[in-house]
Amino acid sequence: MIRPTEDQQYYELTSPTALPKASGFLWNNQMMIHMNCRGYAVAQFMQPEPAKYSYAPNLEAKTFMQPEQPYYAHHPGRFLFIKDEESGYIFSAPYEPTRQVPDKFVFAAGKHDIVWTLGHWDLRIQMTLTLPRDHAAELWSIKVTNTGSRKRKISLYPYFSVGYMSWMNQSGEYVDELGAIVCSAVTPYQKVQDYPKIKTLKDKTYLLAEKKPSAWEVSQEAFEGEGGIMRPSALESGTLACGDARYEMPTAVMQYRIQPEAGEEQEYRFVFGPAKDEAEIADIRERYFGFDGEKGTGEGTESGSEEHQAYSEYGFDAAARDYAAYVAEGRGSLTIDTPDKDLDNFVNHWLPRQMYYHGVTNRLSTDPQTRNYLQDHMGMSYIDPRSTRNAFLTALSQQRPDGSMPDGIVLYEGAELKYINQVPHTDHCVWLPVCLITYLDETNDYALLDEEVTYAGGEKSGTVFEHIDLAVQWLIGDRDERGLNYINQGDWCDPMNMVGYKGRGVSGWLTIATAYSCLVWADICERSGRSSEAADYRQQAEEINGAVNRHLWDGDWYARGITDDGVPFGISADEEGRIFINPQGWSLLSGAADEDKKERLIRSVAEQLESPYGVEKLAPSYTAMREDVGRVTQKHPGSAENGAVYNHAAAFYIYALYAVGEKENAYRLLRKMLPGADEADIRQRGQLPVFIPNYYRGAYRQFPRTAGRSSQLFNTGTVPWVYRCLIDGLFGVQGTPDGLRVSPQLPAEWNEVSVTRTFRGAEFRIAIKREDGVSETEVYVGGERIEGGVIRDVAEGGTYAVEVKLPL
């Protein structure tokens, strides 16, 4: 049902119905497209605010990317209707909207393209989607082969949904000179002040065809007629009516009537996307198809001269190759070969790709949440550390002079803080030291600390060191008389908005995270020659940990917080929301939990939060609003922050387990982030292992039927943390100021592993093996034992053969 291809470049799904929501995604720095296996699509592009060019069939709400979005009959999609002219039989590729199950179906989610291969009615259909590197457009190739033994008479109808573009103005027509269907709209607005922005928007949606079609239809209603989208009436007649749309909902459908001989293959190529005006569409035509529509006349294969054809292949194919190169630039710094092939595949191919997506697109937001921005760029430390460096400088230039961080980082002039960024959260400063350490581990670029940056407002300025120092001081200072951090309207858990909105409630997790921030910052101080500051911060962490243990330890685990009214929650006395994952894992990092507490809380987590799909964020999930906790309790039980296996939080916990050497627990939970290996698990999650979703449904003990179901949302802070779990924990190949520290924490079931780690311009080929007679980890380079396991003086361009021996 699902399998990676041999070259590991694709994950294939061989049924359109087994995992109906399975999907892949592609992006470039202007856009993102989420492609479902059945042909549905969600695409957005940045101008610079996110916008659409293929819309829902009704007025759509603008929001950030949401989990578990439903598909429906008229959902935006990219389809090919096929009609056998002799029998009248109609089906569609890849599967929707007609839902005829083909004899053969392969959906291949790739790194730089998405490919469907179908066999049905003696026809082989291959649809391939890729993107250009540098602008918002979809590049489609559709190949149709007559696999039967006789000549056929068929019609092909590529159908690209345009949808409800605007209530002010929408229309569409076929423009012969462009060889394109061009749909036009005016983005709705009302304020005169908005006009200067509105007039610059790309309000056209075009479907540009390399080969001139025999006919077309641009009115959605005319196309569907009484048959509806599953059996459009317009397909009944010999040719489409060549209609237009005049303040009618547009669509983009073309028709190619062809008569392929036995064995003959025909290829059709299209560009679909947004444009400002027809001149831009003409440019795009020139760029990909290399000749204008006028010369490209003639039907089907006769279109264009040989010469033009060759040129056009170059433009289109070169763009596809260029995009493949772009995606390949996002390779990570770790290649593994372990007994667990599914993990290898994910880590070597898909995990760095998902991190790269975050680092390049900022989740298609012009004001990413501060914590997301910092964590997404933490991931970029492993891919393109220069961009991490720039991200830190950008974020710090928006820090307030009192040390606090804003709720979002504005990436474009004039962009505004939207959605959740208008709600005050108190955790943003935590992520400065916590994410910076990864960048420093990778690069050793401690010189960054000396860069001078102004604060918001532009009056005050200070070094990066001073900025972050002030941020840590701000966290330390934002505590109550008990020494616990105020939560205001949220912390990492952004819908936890009513614990402390009256100004008194505190966050247990945030207090623990403040202690951990102090420890991390102390390490950075130490390594940059500031030993006395380091000692102070360690002292500070100890003091905060003391407060944590005094006020938040509940006997077997830590409480999540104390409300405005002084009520502790996330404790054994609570019927719902009795235990939360975040305080537990972070207390291992901050050192609050001693041996005894560590054992107790790990046991409690395993008993109350662990499910077959990973560790849940809280349990039991709230089934009713708790007005002293907030909006999080109103989310459906088992969804999102209300007790899902929220992978971001699960990754923190796994990271913490590695930090304290709990390698078996850590690996077991890490493995649960991926679907499989058995078929029942794959069906239950409903997702291909080409990304980690932001959550799998939780509330396993309350609602087992839905537990495990993937949110299908690939925007998540999980991925850089999983990478850190692998680098710092499982494979133990973490950077230090002196070099590369090699200290793997393999699960007992693994005897042999090999790892290639690129690090500071060098390559380390590391062979790890369990051996008889070995009592502790032994690291060798060129046959020589390395004391302490730190390989020093890493030479740029060097290759190191490393041997690691582990006890049996």
Catalytic machinery residues: 494
Please report whether residue 495 would count as binding ligand CEZ according to CB under 6 A: yes
Residue 695 to residue 523: CA distance in whole angstroms: 32
Please report whether residue 367 would count as binding ligand CEZ according to CB under 6 A: no
List the one residue out of 449, 596, 437 whose CA is nearest residue 520. Answer: 437
Interacting positions 703-722 with ligand CEZ (CB under 6 A):
715
CB of 493 to ligand CEZ, least distance (A): 5
Q: Which residues of 109-128 are buried (b: 16+ CB within 10 A; e: fewer)?
A: bbbbbbbbbbebbebbbbbb
Asked if omega into 97 is within 30° of 0 (cis), the reply is yes
Pick from 137, 320, 471, 493: which binds ligand CEZ (CB under 6 A)? 493
Q: Which residue has the tokens 């070259």?
A: 7
The secondary structure element, H or E, covering residue 506 is: strand 506-507
Please report whether residue 616 would count as binding ligand CEZ according to CB under 6 A: no
CB of 792 to ligand CEZ, least distance (A): 37
List the one residue out of 115, 93, 310 whose CA is nearest residue 210. Answer: 310
Instruction: Supply the angle between the helices 464-477 and 385-396 in degrees, to the nearest 10.
Output: 60
Pattern 630-669, ligand CEZ, x by CB under 6 A: ----------xx----------------------------
The secondary structure element, H or E, covering residue 477 is: helix 464-477
CB of 379 to ligand CEZ, least distance (A): 14
Choose the stretch contacting ligand CEZ; rule: CB under 6 A; options: 5-13, 132-140, 254-262, 493-501: 493-501
Choose the stretch contacting ligand CEZ; rule: CB under 6 A; options: 31-39, 318-326, 365-373, 390-398: 365-373
Pick from 96, 138, 494, 576: which binds ligand CEZ (CB under 6 A)? 494
Pick the closer one to ligand CEZ by CB: 64 or 247.
Answer: 64
Please report whether residue 492 would count as binding ligand CEZ according to CB under 6 A: yes
Please report whether residue 369 would count as binding ligand CEZ according to CB under 6 A: yes
Distances (CA, A) of 671 to 307, 423, 496, 604, 745: 53, 35, 29, 20, 14
Residue 514 to residue 592: CA distance in whole angstroms: 11
Choose the stretch contacting ligand CEZ; rule: CB under 6 A; options: 462-470, 490-498, 508-516, 540-548: 490-498
Beta strands 265-275 and 50-51 are: unpaired
Beta strands 762-771 and 799-807 are: parallel
Pick from 18, 393, 417, 420: which binds ligand CEZ (CB under 6 A)? 420
List the one residue out of 639, 654, 641 whose CA is nearest residue 708. Answer: 639
Pick the closer one to ligand CEZ by CB: 117 or 372.
Answer: 372
CB of 634 to ligand CEZ, least distance (A): 10
Interacting positions 180-219 with ligand CEZ (CB under 6 A):
none
Interacting positions 49-68 with ligand CEZ (CB under 6 A):
64, 67
Pick the closer one to ligand CEZ by CB: 218 or 364.
Answer: 364
Pick from 372, 507, 540, 545: which binds ligand CEZ (CB under 6 A)? 372
Choose the stretch contacting ligand CEZ; rule: CB under 6 A; options: 228-236, 368-376, 524-532, 551-559: 368-376
Pick the closer one to ligand CEZ by CB: 251 or 642.
Answer: 642
Interacting positions 218-237 with ligand CEZ (CB under 6 A):
none
- Residues β-bridged to residue 182: 173, 206
Please report whether residue 794 would count as binding ligand CEZ according to CB under 6 A: no
Pick the closer one to ligand CEZ by CB: 74 or 371.
Answer: 371
Residue 669 to residue 671: CA distance in whole angstroms: 5
Pick the closer one to ligand CEZ by CB: 205 or 711.
Answer: 711
Please report whether residue 158 would count as binding ligand CEZ according to CB under 6 A: no
The secondary structure element, H or E, covering residue 315 is: helix 306-328
Count CA within 13 A, CB hemisphere, residue 431. Answer: 30
Q: What are the helix (H) ranges across 206-304? A: 220-224, 278-289
Distances (CA, A) of 221 to 186, 227, 386: 21, 10, 51
| Type of residue at 196 | P
CB of 711 to ligand CEZ, least distance (A): 8
- List CB contacts of 418: < 8 A, sequence separation 6 or more: 367, 408
Are the C-beta atoms of residues 359 and 438 closer than 8 Å to each other?
Answer: no
Please report whether residue 371 would count as binding ligand CEZ according to CB under 6 A: yes
- Number of Cβ within a 10 Å radius of residue 66: 13
CB of 664 to ligand CEZ, least distance (A): 28
Residue 786 to residue 391: CA distance in whole angstroms: 36
Pick the closer one to ligand CEZ by CB: 107 or 646.
Answer: 646
Distances (CA, A) of 674 to 36, 72, 268, 564: 19, 27, 37, 39
CB of 628 to ligand CEZ, least distance (A): 18
Please report whether residue 407 would count as binding ligand CEZ according to CB under 6 A: no
CB of 70 to ligand CEZ, least distance (A): 16
Binding site for ligand CEZ (CB under 6 A): 64, 67, 369, 371-372, 420, 492-495, 640-641, 694, 715
